[in-house]
Structure 1
Amino acid sequence: MIEENVSNEKNSKIKALIFLLIISICIYLTGCSNTSDSGNNQSNNLSDKNVKIHFINTGNSDAILIQDGKTFTLIDGGDNDDENLIVDYLNNQGVKDIKYLIATHSHADHLGGLDFVVKNFNIENVFVSNGSAETKSYRDFIYALANKDLSPSVPLENKKFYLEESYFEVLNTNGGNTTNEQSLVLIYTNGKDKVLFTGDAEEGTEKEILSKLGKVDILKVAHHGSRSSSSQNFLDKVNPEYAVILVGKGNSYGHPHKDTITRLINKGIEIHRSDFCKDVIFESTGKGVKTECKEWAYNNIQNKDLNNSKNILKHENDTNILYDSKIVYWTPNGSVYHITDKCNSLSNSKNILTGSIVDSGKPRVCKNCE
């Protein structure tokens, strides 16, 4: 029995290595056969039926499900500890087959749960970015694909990959100097509606694809709202009506960063956050998008000087709680929040988080800030 298990493990590793080789060949040839334009005989007429776009709440990680009729696309799969959450969510949506499984890049917070998805659902096409990683999360994903004889490939740029009547195009496969910059950026079209999915793409990738971009209805804000993404030139070009930030409450990275939030607010973009609204679900009619998710409170601030702006709102989950939505600062282990990040008490702090008083979870303001 031990010899049999060792043999099976060896065979799995051999398969995985073969498929890694296939990926390299696919990159060299700029795409495999399963990256062909599967919508050649599709109509370009506007879709009359609604498409659902699920931004799944997995904390400080990405998982997005597009549901066009009975055809599904999954973009990223959360982190390693999100495996059961993702599989349960897909089951609850009636998913049995996934036409396109897309790993935007090789970081664990984007593909950590995809090995479970591969094991539990029928997968037709698997797209990956131009790059790999020597990490357990990436190996688990590749092993899972190999064990089901699935061949991952880098999709061709500017090809239309159809779900039913809607489709997506990949804007970049050139890669970059970092794994984040290698993120596949996708523009999804349903009728007149357009959604931009950005993975963790940073300003370098934004500059590379800027000439290909136009106005979109929804922007999935890159890298959980990090200051390294969503540059001013980029936002001016795509000018979305809605921005979605997939972010974990009280995360140690301080996501989303104040600089990014400020740029979004100053452009009047309606912000929706998974740490505030949990699962953020949009419906695309082909002639406009809509959501029942409540707009994030800071969008009601009219004064662009965030530190001086106040707006009293009812908290989403408790209509009896009122809170001041000005931005405050705190540290993970601190017992108070701060009105300014210049407070002397924060001078030696390396990890300063930003958000509302409710976000901070701190019971009182710093005495030095009062």
Structure 2
Amino acid sequence: MKDEIKDTNVARDTEEKSYYHQVLSRAKCEKYNASQEDVDWFDIKNYQFTNRIPFKELICELIARVDSANVAYTEGSYGIVSASIFDKIYSDIITGHPTINNYFVYDHDDPRIISLANKMEEEVEISDSGELKFITLDQVRSNIPVRELNISDIHDCYHATSSTEIITVPIYANTSHPCYTGFLKKEDITNETTLTTIQSKNHGIEQLYLSVDLSFSEAQLITAFEKILAELRPHKKLTRRKILDIKLHKILPLMDLIIWQVKEKKRLPLRQIFNLLEGLPVECSDSITGFDWSKFNKGVLRTLEKVLGQGTLLPLLDALDDKTGHYDISLDELQDKAP
């Protein structure tokens, strides 16, 4: 009996720390046992396209879903997804049409550069949030060639952290300001709090604000910058096997299940998520399906965490950048290639 209690506590602690669980917790999703009627919109067969499209399109699908999950939580624009576009994306997802990259266009040489498709521009309401302000800092000489800015350095960033409304930055197509403290209490912030600390506690580091003292040599500046990057991007590039886990563990359909849960403020038991990903009735019991929490966590949830890289997709993007031509092939083609 003691061993069973211990195993349950270990499982609970592990789940609490997982990226998947953190996303649902931030959105204040309540535990909920879904009926088949609740999830009739989801059919794993609709996601076969995931394995056939080139990585250029898959990257767009993944990035759009990361941003959509944030929109579902904030009910405002985020990244490449405006509130109006989200309504269209969400409608497509819950009506069995999960291919959503047609709403966007991406740079063929660098698929992470994504913008709204021309055909959508007239259909979407884009709010005017004013002119972008450029801040001139009073330079104070220090012995540090490159340092990260903190709140006291940039007044506008502090305004974003203390606002009760979502602050947008026009140059990023009305995305939420990286320092908007949606999940961090204002009383926990001091003037010495770095901006990446705020970002990492919210939705992952998106932008890095640095002070660069040009009196140092180029070699010194590069060395200092590389050190900061190493500290703030401690991810490992994905291996070929881990990239293929996107297919094996059905990461893209899992992301749609996350978006639905965040939007509906419901957190389904992992066994029900497992059933849906396996194409089984949602109410099937573990004794019938053979669901194993530990395997699901180590396989599906761990893969989700590694691929998304705290919502940045950096591990995947860096891995593909190193493999010339891989942006043009699909998961199926990658699997067929020799190791």
Q: TM-score, normalised by structure 1?
A: 0.28
Higher relative contact order (CA 8 A, sep 6+): 2
Q: TM-score, normalised by structure 2?
A: 0.30
Q: Which has the higher strand share?
A: 1
